[in-house]
Amino acid sequence: MLQIVGGPDWYPVVLALFGVLLAWLAQYDVRHRRIPNAALYPAIAAALALALAEPAAPWWSYAGGGLFAGALIVALELASRGGIGYGDAKLAALIGLLLGWPAVLVGLFVAFAVGAAAGLALVAGGRLARAEPMPFAPALAAGALAGLLVGQPVARFLWPGLT
């Protein structure tokens, strides 16, 4: 996504603002164990509008990324019976809207890897009980950063038929 040739000058600034929002949401989730809808809903609306103005790919790539990421986390929430929250699903949908398809696959893979490593480290260090839920927004934010920086090229390399 950052490889925009001839794209608008404002686009990297908007992505940086979304990065600041993701960092704030991650720290909020760590402190309060929830992700506020008051921040998510306007951000999702802005990401949808940005998807329509995105110069690097068709809008449906970004809408598909958002739907895929949100639906995946909802499915995991239903399967885990509360182990992951709907706030995480809405945040994943926002990230999918920003990354687009297939970069969202890389972002989600990194998010799950970071979340698993952090969870294991916290449990091993005695800072988190095994059954205690862990804030997932920091891992999602890390996945979003990875997806934004290298998502498209890595996805094209790993899954050439998906692009």
Instruction: Decide if pLDDT at 1 tops 60.
Output: no
Tokens 């929830």 found at: 34
Of 97, 9, 96, the closest CA to residue 51 belongs to: 97
**Backbone phi and psi for residue 92, each to the nearest 5 degrees, phi listed first:** -65, -40
State what percent of residues in the chain have pLDDT above 90. 48
Give pTM, 2 decimals. 0.86
Query: What digits encode the pLDDT tens for the residues 74-89?
Result: 998 888 876 788 999 9
Structural contact between residues 14 and 50, judged by C-beta atoms closer than 8 angstroms: yes
Q: Which amino acid is at 32?
A: H
Instruction: Return d(Cα 14, Cα 47) in angstroms, integer.
Output: 10
For residues 91-117, average pLDDT: 93
Token digits of residue 154: 């890595």
Which residue type occupies 23? A
**Where does the chain show beta strands of DSSP type E?**
none
**pLDDT at position 74, please?**
92
Digit-coded pLDDT (tens) for 120-142: 898 888 887 777 778 899 999 99
Average pLDDT, the chain: 86
Element (H, E) at 33: none
